[in-house]
Amino acid sequence: MKPDTKRPPIYTVWEEICGWTFDRTNDIPKGQRFTFGQRIDGITLDVLQLIIRAIHTHEKAAMLDEINLKLEELRVLWRLVQKRGWINLRQLDFVHGKLDEAGRMVGGWIKQQKGA
């Protein structure tokens, strides 16, 4: 399947983050999977939904601000998961790098909207 060229690059990056996230949260111990795993999965899917909505609307500003807030929530949750030993530092660095990349893309999108 060829990538959809109509979607902005953040969509492709976020699809990668989704796959990585769901693989990792599945490994969180069963007793904490609801607290941490479902919360992280839910926020990750919320970001995907916001990206899709932002693609298809003219009123992007509020959605892009919400994406930025959710990215910060994910950074905090992933740090907590790492501190409990459920992912290692290399994995934390990877996900934080991807979240930072997505944040830069959202920032660029916000600047583009302000200039439009």
> Residue 106: which CATH number?
1.20.1440
Please check whether residue 102 lies inside any domain of the structure. yes
How far is the CA of 12 from the CAs of 31, 42, 48, 105, in angstroms?
Answer: 32, 18, 10, 11
Average pLDDT over every residue of 89-104: 97
How far is the CA of 58 from the CAs of 14, 52, 61, 70, 116, in angstroms?
Answer: 21, 12, 9, 21, 11
Q: Which domain holds residue 80?
A: 9-25+34-115
Total domain count for the chain?
1
Q: What is the pLDDT of residues 44-92, one digit of tens each?
A: 999 999 999 999 998 899 999 999 999 999 999 999 999 999 999 999 9
Please check whether residue 2 lies inside any domain of the structure. no
* pTM of the shown model: 0.90
Please check whether residue 1 lies inside any domain of the structure. no
Q: How many CB atoms lie within 10 A of CB 61?
A: 12
Please check whether residue 90 lies inside any domain of the structure. yes
Q: Check pLDDT > 60 for residue 113.
A: yes
Please check whether residue 15 lies inside any domain of the structure. yes
